[in-house]
Copies of this chain bind each other. A is one copy, B any other.
Amino acid sequence: MISKEQIKYIRSLHRKKFRDINQQFIIEGPKMIAEAIRYAPESLIQIYGTETVDERLPEHALFEEIDNKALGQISTLKHPQKQVAICSYLPNVSTRPDFYIALDTIQDPGNLGTILRLASWFGVEHIIASKETVDCYNPKVVQASMGAIFNVNIEYVELKEAFENTELPIYGSLLEGENIYEKQISKKGILVMGNEGNGISEELLSFITDPVTIPQFGKGESLNVAMAAAVLLSEFSRPR
Binds B, one of A1-9, A44-52, A213-221: A213-221
Q: How far is the CB of A222 from chain B (nearest CB, A)?
A: 7
Contact B117 A216 (CB under 8 A): no
Is the CB of A118 closer than 8 A to any CB of chain B?
yes
Contact A224 B124 (CB under 8 A): no
Task: Report B-chain residues with C-beta under 8 Å of the C-beta of A237.
Answer: 217
Is the CB of A139 closer than 8 A to any CB of chain B?
no
- In the complex, which of the residues B114, B218, B220 contacts A224, with contact meaning CB atoms closer than 8 Å? B114
- In the complex, which of the residues B120, B147, B148, B227 contacts A117, with contact meaning CB atoms closer than 8 Å? B227
Task: Report B-chain residues with C-beta under 8 Å of the C-beta of A209.
Answer: none
Is the CB of A210 closer than 8 A to any CB of chain B?
no
Of chain B, the residue at the smallest CB distance from A119 is: B218
Contact B223 A117 (CB under 8 A): yes
| Chain A residues touching B, range | 35 or more
Task: Report B-chain residues with C-beta under 8 Å of the C-beta of A35.
Answer: 221
Q: A181-B238, A230-B230 are in contact. Are A218 and B124 (CB under 8 A)?
A: yes
Contact B181 A216 (CB under 8 A): no
Q: How far is the CA of A227 from the CA of B114 in the complex (A)?
A: 8
Of chain B, the residue at the smallest CB distance from A239 is: B181
Contact B123 A221 (CB under 8 A): no
Contact A148 B230 (CB under 8 A): no
Q: A227-B226, A231-B231 are in contact. Are A216 and B121 (CB under 8 A)?
A: yes
Residues of A in contact with B (beta carbons under 8 Å apart): 35, 39, 114, 117-125, 146-148, 151, 181-182, 214, 216-224, 226-227, 230-231, 234-235, 237-239
